[in-house]
């Protein structure tokens, strides 16, 4: 099985590209969706997060805004949160890989792949990228997003240029969507050919 790590900074179009892989029949593990499930209503991490960060959860699970306020800009708090979340996500990913053991290729969609050293656990890395102006415009359209919050998130992420330099493949999303889709299809075909499939 070829494990392709999919990553990219906030607002780069990673979710769109992940869906393109799904559309082509490639199984995708979405780390963000996994976190939402673990932290949602009845999620298994909710009691642990409430214990570590009192007042950040409720009947709907983790209140992401409250948790964000509790950890953003506080490195020690962020490390405490990551120590809770990362092992749980890793466990879910292991189960996903076992479920799709017969697939010739899977995509592991992890926003902070390089930042957490996850690139060592995949065979190839694909970085999704867009020009900074488009990235900023996309992110600032999100509900509750501010310039300050966007800048704080960017500060925790490896710069896009560095991600691209470390990637095996880069796909742009600041081009017509049909072109991005063609690049995804070409990459799938290229990987299949290189794997002798």
Residue 104 in contact with residue 76, Cβ under 8 Å?
no
Crossing angle for the helix pair 132-140 and 147-156, to the nearest 10 degrees: 120
Q: Is 146 annotated as a binding residue?
A: no
Q: Is 131 annotated as a binding residue?
A: no
Neighbours of 62 (CB within 10 A): 23
User: DSSP assignment of 149-192, as one string?
Assistant: HHHHHHHHS--HHHHHHH-SEEEESSS-HHHHHHHHHHHHHHHH
Identify each DSSP E strand in 8-118 by its residue range: 28-30, 57-58, 61-62, 105-109
Q: Is 8 annotated as a binding residue?
A: no
CA-CA distances (angstroms) from residue 58 to 40, 55, 62? Answer: 10, 8, 6
Q: Is 120 annotated as a binding residue?
A: no
Q: Is 13 annotated as a binding residue?
A: yes
Name residues whose C-beta falls within 8 Å of residue 162's C-beta, 6 or more positions apart in sequence. Answer: 114
- For 109, list phi and psi in degrees, rounded to 5: -90, 105
Q: Is 183 annotated as a binding residue?
A: no
Q: Which residues are annotated as a binding site for ATP?
A: 11-16
Q: Which residues are annotated as a binding site?
A: 11-16
């Amino acid at each position: 099985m070829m494990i392709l790590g999919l990553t990219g900074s906030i607002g780069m179009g990673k979710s769109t590209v992940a869906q393109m892989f799904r559309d082509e029949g490639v199984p995708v593990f979405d780390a963000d969706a996994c976190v939402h499930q673990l932290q949602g209503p009845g999620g298994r991490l909710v009691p642990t997060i409430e214990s570590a960060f009192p007042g950040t959860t409720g009947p709907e699970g983790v209140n992401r805004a409250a948790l964000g306020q509790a950890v953003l800009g506080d490195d020690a708090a962020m490390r405490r949160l990551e120590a809770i979340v990362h092992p749980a996500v890793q466990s879910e990913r292991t189960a996903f890989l076992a479920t799709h053991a017969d697939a010739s290729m899977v995509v592991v969609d992890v926003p902070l792949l390089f930042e957490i050293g996850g690139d060592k656990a995949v065979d190839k890395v694909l970085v999704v990228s867009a020009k900074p102006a488009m990235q900023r415009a996309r992110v600032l359209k999100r509900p509750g997003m501010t310039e300050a919050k966007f800048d704080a998130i960017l500060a925790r992420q490896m710069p896009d240029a560095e991600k691209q330099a470390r990637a095996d493949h880069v796909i742009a999303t600041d081009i017509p969507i049909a072109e991005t889709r063609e690049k995804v299809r070409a990459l799938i075909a290229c990987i299949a050919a290189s794997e002798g499939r």
